[in-house]
Structure formats: structure tokens, C-alpha cells
Structure 1
Amino acid sequence: MDQSGSFTKQFYFTVSDKTDGSKYLCYTHDCAGVLTIGVTDAEDVWRTKMTDEIKTQLLKHYSLTSVEDCIVKLRSSCGTGNASVSVEVDQVILRLGPSQKDMSLTLSKLPEDDGKGELKHLLFRMADSLSHCQTTEGAKSLYSPGKSSHEFAPRKHPLRRNGAPTGAPKRFAGDSLINPGTRSKKPATGVAFDDADDM
């Protein structure tokens, strides 16, 4: 498996063929200190290694100072949409910018069996890279900070044997709605006078 430091030399971006608009995946992979640049349409794979010659050309062409700067340049070209590809018979030309003055890299097509193996490894490298990012940055909680999942769940009332909820007390006819547990008073109908005999 890749060491943690090698993840910084990996990237995955889509690039397009400007002639027909078809999409390709451009990726890099650091293997034993050798940077590999690849392009795939998920069926065929084209690949080249970052040789000393290519490094020197990139450093000189773009006035860069280190290999890390070369990787940053590749990422920037692909990430901003400046990079494009053109497919030829057995190779792909990866152009790092829209101008003819921008540098281009030639990637050779892998044999079918090697291409399938590369796609398999690519899939798992992408998964490892994603897992590494999630572990490093921390998985984002689906809930607000300080809140537990049960606080957002609807409150459930326990059920009696007959299926009726026991949470709410039973209300009897005549009970007050404002002061539960007390009987509603009947409105006054008038004043009752004593009989004249009692006076």
C-alpha cells in the first residue's frame, strides 16, 4: 500500500479531447519514488513515467525549481481545465495548456492485459486516497455538534397492552382543558333568592 507521503503526489482530474469533447481521467501515481502520469477512458490506458528528461523540460519550460513544482503545475493545468488530450493510434498527447507554447507529454498505450491491471490498481488507489483524505480531515458528522442522534429522533410513547399510548393521561368528560385534572365549572345561571317565608 502507498505510504502516507505518496498521497501528496497523487491527483485525479478529468480532461477532455477538444475535438470531440470526450472525457478522460488524468492521474498520477508515485511508485518507488518514480512519478507515473496516466490517462484513461475507463477502457484503454495510456501512461508515461516522469523521467529526468521530462522533469528537466518542465523545470526549464515553466521556470520551476523542484519536482514538487512540476506536480503542482500538472495539478493546476488539469484542475483549471487548461489541459487537454488528443488521441492518436497508440498514444495520447497530454497538452498542459491551450497555447502551442505550452508543453505537451506523450503517453504510450498499454497492452490490453496490462491496461486492465492498471485500471484495477487505479480503482483501489483512488479508494485508498479517498479513505486517507477522510481519515486526515475527519469524517463530517451528520448531526449538529453537541447533539446526539437520539435527540433528533421523534419521541416514542410506550404502548399499553391494548395498543393505546400511555404517555398522555386519560381525559374524562368535564375536565378542564386549561388546568388538567380539575373539573370544569358550569357557568352561573342567576341568583337564587330565599323564599319569602324565611325572611
Structure 2
Amino acid sequence: MQRPLAPGSLCIVPAGSGQGPPRYVCYCEGPEGPGLDSDPGETGAFNIYVTDALELWNTSFTPESLEKHKAQHGLDGAEDYSTWFRAACDQHSVSLTLKDDSSAYLTISREAETLTFDLSKVPNPEAAPQVQTLMLRLAEQVCKLEKQLAALKDETPSPRKKPQPGRQQLFLPDPDSRRGASGPVVKKWMPGESLINPGFKSKKPASGVNFDDA
């Protein structure tokens, strides 16, 4: 059963100056890397692969040449290159340079330390099945992630619609609804009603002043 690609064990890097395509997939194979055809018994194996989905380059390390590479860079034999590679991928500090002789070299950096790896081109008959395996595994990972995202969307409840505050009233209130409104009511005075006691009619009409009786 093929192992899934480990997080941080794969990255996409540009070639040369790094401005635009072509782009290359770079991944590692080792005790903590994704591996392609690694033997579980070879716990010390480590290799870096670079491909553009057509051609393939790798470091072609043997356990002996790997220890020699570490010694050349002043590293302890127990130093884990897979950890180096994951950290460089996370920090986007991986650079690739292709040479005229079809070889390449890769540089990975971690803080102030830098490692350089020489990569040789893998012959096409040997490279084709490895590139095919990588592409199929990447497609499988994408399908798996899409299913997980779809499941999360189904589990997430849709937000309820809330009334918008400060929304203007588009229609005037019903006139009948204002009849029962509280507040002072001003009654219109009718002719013949008493001015002192509104609602009662005057018993006799008002008359003017008679100056003759004065």
C-alpha cells in the first residue's frame, strides 16, 4: 500500500532566476519523506527528486554517499535531511538550477545554513513509471481533499438571515391603526355650546350690554 504524501515533503520550485514557468515538482524520499519505491529496511536512505512531469532528476544517494555528503557539509551523521527539506519547503527556500549537460543542482536553506545537492537526470525508461506513480498519488490526494471539504460544507449549518437594522419603512401606517393611538384629543367647538362647559348648550343666547339701564 502506498503511503500518502507527507505535509511539507513536496514543493513547487521555479528553475534558474525563479521568474515564471517552467516550474518543477520537488520532493524527497526517506524515512520521513513520501518515498516512491523505498525499501522499508533501508532506514538511512534519502533522495531528492525533481520533475516537470516529463523528465526526472534525483540525487542518487547510496547510504555511503549520503554520509559522505553530510561530512562535506560538516554535519553529524545523524542529521535528518528530511527535516531540513520540509523546513525549506515551508519557508520557500528551495532553488533549482539546470545545467547545460542535463544535470542540475538544488539548494535548500534553513536559517543561516545552506545545503547543495547535485542531481543527475534519470533515463526515460526508469523515470516514466516513477513520474506516473507521483502524478497518480497527487491526483488521489486531491480527490481525498475535495471529499473532505465537501463533508465539512455539509456539516456546517447555513447562517440564518437576520433583519437589517435601520431599514426604512416603505409604506405609511394604516390610518385606521392611528385611531386608537393615545394622546390628547382636541374637540372642535360647535355653535351654541357653552364656552365654560364644552358639551352643554347655553340656556339663553348671550345678549349685549344695555346702556339705558345704567
TM-score of the two chains, using structure 1 as the length reference: 0.57
Match of 1:32 in 2: 39
**Superposed displacement of residue 26, structure 1:** 1.0
Q: Please say if residues 27 and 50 of structure 2, whose CA atoms lie closer than 8 Å, have aligned partners that are also in contact.
A: yes
What 5-or-longer segments of structure 2 have no aligned partner? 29-33, 163-172, 190-197, 205-214
**Equivalent residues in 2 for 1:66-77 (5 A)?**
66=78, 69-77=80-88
Q: Does 1:105 align with 2:112?
A: no
Cα–Cα, structure 1 residues 57 and 82, in superposed 2: closer, same or farther, change >3 Å?
farther
Identity percentage of aligned residues: 15
Find the partner of 1:153 among 151, 160, 164: 160
Deviation string 1:126-182 (CA, Å, 9 cap, x unpaired) is 3556758x98xx999679xxx9614x1337xxxxxxxxxxxxxxx854125xxxxx8
**Shift, 1:27, TM fit:** 0.7
Decide whether aligned partners of structure 1 residues 184 and 55 sit closer, same or farther in structure 2, where only a CA change above 3 A counts: same
3-state SS in 1 of match to 2:186: coil
Secondary structure at the counterpart of residue 67 of structure 2 = helix
Which stretches in structure 1 are left out of the alignment for 5+ residues?
Answer: 156-170, 177-181
Equivalenced residues, count: 165
In structure 2, the partner of 1:164 is: none
Q: What SS is found at the alignment partner of 1:7?
A: coil
Which amino acid in structure 1 is aligned with residue 118 of structure 2? L
Q: TM-score, normalised by structure 2?
A: 0.54
For residues 46-57 of structure 1, the aligned pairs below 5 Å read 46-57=57-68
2:94 and 2:106 in contact (8 A); partners too: yes
Contact 1:48-1:106 within 8 A present in 2 as well: yes
**Residue identity matched to 1:70:** Y
Choose which of 39, 54, 63 in structure 1 pairs with 2:75.
63
Conserved 8 A contact 1:84-1:94: yes
Larger RCO: 1 or 2 (CA < 8 Å, sep 6+):
2
Larger Cα-atom Rg: 2
| Offset from partner CA, 1:34-87 (integer Å, 9 cap, x none) | 5442102233222344420342034322413426x1112233445445442222
CA RMSD of aligned residues (A): 4.3
